[in-house]
Structure 1
């Protein structure tokens, strides 16, 4: 079974632009996100997890207790999220956007070589996917 903690380098997107159009992200931020290639670092210390995403544009870091609600601050919204590990190769974050009440989520699927993050949102008919290669 793959280990969840590690460093992962983004290498491709799937349905990314259509997803963020449906969610209502403006053109320029949408294009900037699509062009970014973040490094995602996941660490786990007991039941405390940190997910750090670093790119040329910005660095986002969230530390939280697995299974407990926490807040994520985005440029235009605050999101209440809960992250759980489903099994040794899957992790799920279920979220509600405070300002709109929309539900969204991230499903992380880990293999020995990569992590695939599937993004879902009430307003998007089709999820988006981001692919990351394991680098450590």
Structure 2
């Protein structure tokens, strides 16, 4: 699923310079500084519903949340005005690429759950969106 989301963002968000998988959101601010307009896709949380089958087969729907975090870097923009213009463009492209899209036909369409900006200092801001879709666990 994560790779399908990455592929969708690469195709639908042309302002992004890279779209990469990640495991730990905290590592984004502590590791090697990514280029501006780099996005990361991270698994986040899953919540399972009860089994839908009463006998025989097993079928359980699982609500899946994932994060899309993108970095905006402008060292010459102390007030953040230039970052806002880039931020609006990247945010709109990501939302257009993911909202209503399903990574497989039987999954629920992606929907935006929450979002938040996090200034990291030194002219760098990370913007993190939480998205939700679903998957089935079947045997």
Task: Indicate whether the TM-score tops 0.5.
Answer: no
Structure number having the greater strand percentage = 1
Structure number having the greater helix percentage = 2
